[in-house]
Structure 1
Amino acid sequence: MTEKLLIFDMDGTLVDTRHDITTSINYVRGLKNMPPLAQNEVLEIINHKRDELAKKLYDTDSYLPEDRAVFEEHYRDQCTKNVVPFDGVVETLTVLKKTGAKMSVATNAPTEFGERILKAAGIEYFFDFIIGACKVNNPKPDSEMIHLIGKLYNGGNLNRESTFIIGDNYTDITAGKNAGIKSVFADWGYGKFHEEAKPHYHAGNFSEILTIVA
């Protein structure tokens, strides 16, 4: 049996972080005398392209260094307070681990937050590598994270038939396409499906991954 390499997005795919993300965004907005956003508003906004987020969240044309710094300082503690794995995550990862699948995480969050969040959710031990945006020059939808993970495992040679990226955002699916690997769209997550992204598979719940990658 060919060894599988599974690369997971984090927020909205492995773990539910919506409460903590919203809390920290609203903390920054409060300091700017802006009204708070509801969770559903935040989830709607973060589905937009990266270059549109600052305008929609903070009414600035680009992320101001001071806004980013305040958010990260607040989120560093906030990110572990309410995070939980999605239904079926622990059970499915346990089965995948027993089959010998290699598993890592590629998140556009800073690596530090990824490690803290996954540890708080009790699932960090499933993953060989947790790669955040700070580890690459070009985060998702670029394929740089995927190629870095491939390099960490076996010098960069990705078996395109047995390597999968699983995520809930068009950035995950596009990163997989750019790397030439298979992609699975997580229907349970925060993201809206973009038809043009053209994932290879859809998963209605986390446990369906077992059937898809079998």
Structure 2
Amino acid sequence: MSTLHDLNGATIAFDLDGTLVDTAPDLVGALNIILAQESLPPLPFDDVRLMVGRGARALLERGFAAAGAPLDAEQAPALVQRFIDVYLARIADESAPFPGVVEVLSDLKTAGAKLVVCTNKLTNLSTALLDAVALSPFFEAVIGADLAPAAKPDGRHVAAAVAAVGGDVSRAVMIGDSVNDALGARNAGVPGVLVSFGYTEEPVETLGADLVIHSFLDVPKACITLLTSCPAPNTGL
């Protein structure tokens, strides 16, 4: 019978926004502050939530377009930096781990799994967020897009995260919420699990994951299933 002990020595890589932490409230809040500074109307939370997860520039581009003022390419770098500064100042005012995250990470770490964050978010923002929501002690490393050879969906990002904790892609799983996570896992030769409660505009079942789960409490079972019964997918590296 498979148990958590089967994950001893395995590497589990986690996306951050929309997977571990519900960050949309603070990201939307920061966006609306920038819009107000530019004399633009605020956007409703539900209209912006699914814009989250593709990076600051993409969020600003989509947010400004939704507010009726397409982002000016020349002004974009300064606005992105201003957004990052605003977001960092309120990074966990309203953000919190999804239900079950703390319990599951504790169980996985106790079982001997190597835990790493693999996110397209900048590493400094990621570590600040993890510190603020008290998740940092669970992870051996945080690999943002700026520390990887390329960002997800490039498989080298997932592979770099696995390597950062001394793991091997032959005994690793990627947990995420988006097509970038599913493709990043597949391109690294790692089975991928997607959660259904994250930030994606497409039906999560259509994104190519090996498994879809509807509660974070199902992460251990999904990892055990994939690592004990399924061969790793073909690598795109």
TM over 0.5: yes
Deviations 1:38-84 (A, max 9, x none): 11111232367998644322222658101111101111111022221
Q: Percent identity over the alignment? A: 28
- The structure with the largest alpha-carbon Rg is 2
Letter in 1 for 2:88: R
Deviations 1:171-203 (A, max 9, x none): 111111111110001112222435553100011
In structure 1, the partner of 2:108 is 96
In structure 2, the partner of 1:115 is 127
For 2:56 and 2:206, the matched residues in 1 are separated by 17
1:181 to 180, 190, 193: 190
In structure 1, the partner of 2:169 is 158
1:107-146 matched pairs, under 5 angstroms: 107-146=119-158
2:218 to 185, 208, 212: 208
Letter in 1 for 2:30: S
For 1:122 and 1:46, the matched residues in 2 are separated by 22
Report the CA distance shift for 1:183/1:50 in structure 2 as closer, same or farther (over 3 A): farther
Equivalent position SS for 2:150: coil
For 1:153 and 1:45, the matched residues in 2 are separated by 31
For 2:57 and 2:94, the matched residues in 1 are separated by 28
Aligned residues: 211
In structure 1, the partner of 2:179 is 170
Report the CA distance shift for 1:126/1:45 in structure 2 as closer, same or farther (over 3 A): same
Q: TM-score, normalized by length of structure 1?
A: 0.89
Equivalent position SS for 1:33: coil
2:15 to 9, 13, 19: 9
Report the CA distance shift for 1:31/1:49 in structure 2 as closer, same or farther (over 3 A): closer
Report the CA distance shift for 1:109/1:49 in structure 2 as closer, same or farther (over 3 A): closer
Q: TM-score, normalized by length of structure 2?
A: 0.81
For the aligned residue pairs, the C-alpha RMSD in angstroms reads 2.2
Letter in 2 for 1:205: S
Equivalent position SS for 1:29: helix
Q: What displacement does 1:153 show?
A: 3.0
Q: What displacement does 1:145 show?
A: 1.8
**8 Å CA contact 1:83, 1:120 repeated in 2:** no
